[in-house]
Amino acid sequence: MAAKKRPLIGISVGDPGGIGPEITAKALALEEIYTICRPLVVSDFDLMKDAVRIANVQLELNRVSRPAEGRYEFGCIDVLDMDNVDMSKLVHKKVIAENGKACFEYIKKVIDLAMAGEIDATVTGPIHKEALNAAGFHYAGHTEIYSDLTNTEDYAMMLADGDFRIIHVSTHIALREACDRVKKDRILKVIHLIRDALDRLGIENPVIAVAGLNPHAGEGGLFGDEEIKEIIPAIEAAKSEGINVLGPLPSDTIFSKARSGEYDAVVAMYHDQGHVAMKTAGFVYDGEGNWSAISGVNVTLGLPIIRASVDHGVAFGKAGEGRANPQSMIQAIRMAVQLSDVG
């Protein structure tokens, strides 16, 4: 891939007290990343200097004030220095309002750069929602920040681990409210969003499976009527548009079939229905405090810009120790490149 064709990816590292900075350093220690993109880290220069030490990687740092100043060469991390963390007061593993403020400013900066066309896509590191709210930014998570700052109303969260993909009708709301949001128009919109994403990923005539809300997908109305009143009408409307969509299917088997490759994506009705399936498949825990695999990417669909993210939290239990797994960050960068129109 020619250097001028490599997409420029802005990476916000997340909460300074979590594992985001160190997994960013570990990901950018891979030469492969520089063959597919030009990564720009939006963080604090001194924070990333410390992250390189924690990650135990041999990398230079290049401080920049705008994307055009980056070198984008393997062996050197270009850091757009936000200069908002007092390193003498930095504490890992704790919820701190100052860290919440810093991570919000990183996010806002990458969004602003993408909206202005100065970068081609964004990748986000893990944030702590409590720290974010303690700093006065009252959002449920990244998805809501992006929708607000880009003035986007119709969006949805997609989780992906290779060819295993799940999109959600709702995410960060109470389960009781999530059931109320299972409506025909919303389901149809989510089907459209995932179909568009699969098209961008180069999948021809993708097969989209829709999960039921209730046990056994309602069992013909015995266990609830949302399938009959809302989900089936949405599926029929999608079929009338020529979309290859199936369902509603019981959620206790739909994800196993998707994992085997029978479907290109699954529409889940609420947060945990999709997240439990994805993280059971992609996360491997050894029972001694270590994750030998943290596989999966979070993508916000429907935005005017590209956003891919790690599919895990700040991992305060290991932050600052150098043992955090960068697998999801690496996958998020790859996904951002795939979705980018550049290259």
Is 7 in the same domain as 115? yes
Task: Output the pLDDT for position 5.
Answer: 82
For residue 328, count other CB atoms closer than 10 A to its CB.
26
Alpha carbon distances (Å) from 43 to 104, 251, 273: 11, 40, 33
Q: Domain check: are 273 and 310 in the same one?
A: no
- Do 102 and 143 reside in the same domain of the chain? yes
Considering the domain architecture, whether residues 32 and 141 belong to the same structural domain is answered as yes
Where does 72-143 show beta strands of DSSP type E? 76-81, 121-124
Q: How many CB atoms lie within 10 A of CB 247?
A: 23
Q: Taking the CA of residue 219 as centre, how many other CA atoms within 13 Å lie in the half-sphere pointing to its CB?
A: 4
* pLDDT for the residue numbered 1: 44
Is residue 334 a part of any domain in this protein?
yes
Sign of torsion over alpha carbons 224, 230, 236, 238: negative
Number of Cβ within a 10 Å radius of residue 177: 10
Pairwise CA distance, residues 341 & 325, whole Å: 29
Same domain, 143 and 21: yes
Q: Which amino acid is at 68?
A: A
**How much is the pLDDT for 139?**
92
| Residue 97 domain boundaries | 3-151+303-339
Q: What is the DSSP string of 40-51?
A: EEEE-HHHHHHH
Q: Do both 83 and 101 map to the same domain?
A: yes
The number of folded domains in the chain is 2
Residues 145 and 212 in one domain: no
Is 126 domain-assigned?
A: yes
Q: Which of 235, 190, 244 is nearest to 217 (CA)?
A: 235
Cβ 103 vs Cβ 21: under 8 Å: no
Looking at 230, 261, 278, which one is the last position of a domain? 278
Closest CA to 69 of 33, 21, 118, 114: 118
Is the residue at 248 inside a domain?
Answer: yes
Q: Looking at the structure, do residues 87 and 37 belong to the same domain, yes or no?
A: yes
Q: Where are the beta strands (DSSP E) in 73-147?
A: 76-81, 121-124
Q: How far apart are CA 175 and CA 170, in angstroms?
A: 9
Which residues contact residue 106 at a Cβ distance below 8 angstroms, ignoring those fewer than 6 apart?
12, 13, 14, 42, 43, 82
How many angstroms separate the CA atoms of 266 and 72, rounded? 37
Determine, yes or no, domain membership for 197: yes
Residue 298 falls inside a structural domain = no
Q: In the numeric block, which tokens belong to residue 211?
A: 């999960």
The pLDDT value recorded for residue 226 is 96
**Predicted local confidence at residue 311, as pLDDT:** 83
This prediction has a pTM of 0.88
Q: Are residues 165 and 127 in the same domain?
A: no
Compute the residue count for the chain: 343
Which residues is 248 bridged to in the sheet? Answer: none
For residue 12, the one-letter residue type is: S
Give the separation between CA 25 and CA 324, rounded to whole angstroms: 11
Question: Which pLDDT score is estimated for 287?
Answer: 72
For 310, the enclosing helix (H) or strand (E) is strand 307-310
Tell me the pairing of strands 307-310 and 297-301.
antiparallel
Residue 188's closest CA among 240, 244, 237? 237
142 domain-assigned: yes
Measured CA to CA, the distance from residue 78 to residue 71 in angstroms comes to 7
Tokens of 33: 């990343």
Cβ atoms within 10 Å, residue 246: 16
Judgement on whether residues 37 and 118 belong to the same structural domain of the protein: yes
Write out pLDDT tens, residues 201-222.
999 999 999 999 999 998 899 9
The pLDDT, as a whole number, for residue 317 is 87
How far apart are alpha carbons 181 and 200 in whole angstroms?
A: 27
Q: Which of 245, 278, 311 is the last residue of a domain?
A: 278
Cβ atoms 322, 35 nearer than 8 A: no
Per-residue model confidence (pLDDT) at position 294? 67
Residue 131 and residue 165 in one domain: no
Which CATH number characterizes residue 43's domain? Answer: 3.40.718.10
pLDDT of residue 312: 87
Same domain, 23 and 112: yes
For the chain of 343 residues, list the mean pLDDT of each consecutive stretch of 10: 75 96 98 97 97 96 96 97 91 93 97 97 96 94 93 94 95 94 98 95 94 94 94 98 97 95 97 93 71 76 95 88 92 94 50
